[in-house]
Amino acid sequence: MSHVRDIERLLYDTMGLDAETLGANAIERAIRVRLAALSTASPDMQDAPPYSRYWQRLQQSPQELQALIEAVVVPETWFFRHRDAFTALAQMVQEARESRRGTAREGQALRLLSLPCSTGEEPYSMAMTMFDAGLGPNDFTIDALDISERALAVAREGLYGRNSFRGPPGTMLFRDRYFSPEGENYRVIGALRTQVRWHAGNLFDPSLVDRLGTFDYVFFRNVLIYFDRDGQRRAIVALEQLMRMGATLFAGPAEGGTLTSNGLAPTGHMQAFSFRVAGPVRDVKTSAGPSRPTGTLDAFRPAPPASALDAVAQHRVALPHVSHISPSSAQAQTPLAPLTVGGPSRTFAPVTPLKPPPDSARADVFQQVDATARTAIAVQLTQAQTAADAGDFAGAVALCRAVLAVDRASAQAEYLLGLVEDAQGDAQGALVHYRRALYLEPGHYEALVHCAALLDARGDAVGARRLLERAERTERADTASRTTTESHDQTHRHGNRHR
């Protein structure tokens, strides 16, 4: 029976599955199904015990491993499962289109990903949501990934029985518009089928991001519950690689705690179980057309500004009583050795590796960071500010994320992430990070100013004025503090206005 444990470990390494989450003896039952399905064993293995014989077969046959995965993975899904997520998606894409209107990004298609997509109900629901939100066929693309070839075959066929349509009759109106009846079943219409591209694959495949690119919206629902803690961390890291800066991740109802404890923030949409994460902008590689540049405003407008702050100023109306914060007025910096990143034509300061604290300390977002790590963090934040001001947004984000991996209570790192998103025209993503910065440090001057500007641009004059008043109080307090304590160490006061 020891080989059952070996097989459980093989499934864990292959797909992240924690056997205990399936219930007692679930893997063993799946093995028995496969043993029964196999007609005869190899002659030279007749004398071996069944589980030993099957273990050898798994090691020799990728096809049998796939067959075992099919026996373990039992799809259970239906159209518009957890409907609030799709309602939130419709609202988000409409806001994204509005924020892009009049910019160079207006014509860019939104990219969505469903994984695992199972038998296709989820990605087809995503496509229906996008059409119902007013988007046309050229406004979005959907990629759908699953490890089960059997499930993908059903999805590609697009023919569904009544079990895929669950809910009161009033919620089934979409079936009349997007499906045609075939006997007792229903087939998706052609307009829906052409919006989804199907892929066989595994989240933990390191080449996945090169195959698929990165996405604005990712549905990864009811999967983390089948992983242990280490598997959940691995999955979240893999997901972040697939997500564009400011992308939204839709999860299952029981997975919010896992995501927030790993640094993601809820979007605030009730019952949508949606979260936002910031990460480096990466090339989007598709089957047609050239890949996009990485990490700078070249991907969005012909001539990038000199700094992230200038980029923000280009697409925002100035608020009253708020002066521009010049990066040249920041504290003096010690020259750092350059490191070529992303190509020989650009250089910026290297990322200094930091050793993260143990899990027990990491659980507390307001963890204490020792003096050595704090010094290294201050250097990295300075480097991130320099990279952002130089227009190297990918470098700035990488540095900020390195800081947050060690000190999740770094308001300056959150502010800089917001600044980068702001510079790239993602107002919603910028607001998320500015607000997180203000939660961590209520008197963060720059976050107050930029958050106020975004609120004003949205028509929330009252909210903008309230934040500006807080910024003015912060500035007065800062002036008084400098008058009495000129020698205060500025490296510990990132949130106050730099002079």
Q: pLDDT value at position 25?
A: 75
Q: What is the pLDDT of residue 433?
A: 86
Residues 175 and 111 in one domain: yes
Whether residue 242 sits in one domain with residue 127? yes
> Is residue 340 assigned to a domain?
yes
Listed range (43-57, 225-239, 465-479) with the worst mean pLDDT = 43-57
pTM above 0.85, yes or no: no
Q: In this predicted structure, what is the pLDDT of residue 55?
A: 81
pLDDT band at residue 198, thresholds of 50, 70 and 90?
very high
Task: Using the 3D structure, point to which of 248, 277, 306 is the last residue of a domain.
Answer: 277
Which residues are CB-contacts of 68 (< 8 A; sequence separation ≥ 6)? 7, 11, 30, 31, 34, 58
Domain annotation covers residue 286? no
pLDDT of residue 319: 45
Residues 106 and 248 reside in one and the same domain? yes
Count of CB atoms within 10 A of residue 193's CB? 17
Quick one: 313 and 199 in the same domain?
Answer: no
Q: Residue 358 belongs to a domain with what CATH number?
A: 1.25.40.10
Q: Which CATH number goes with the domain that contains 119? A: 3.40.50.150
The pLDDT value recorded for residue 421 is 84
Domain assignment of residue 425, given as a range: 297-492
Arithmetic mean of pLDDT over the chain: 76
Assigned domain for 285 exists: no
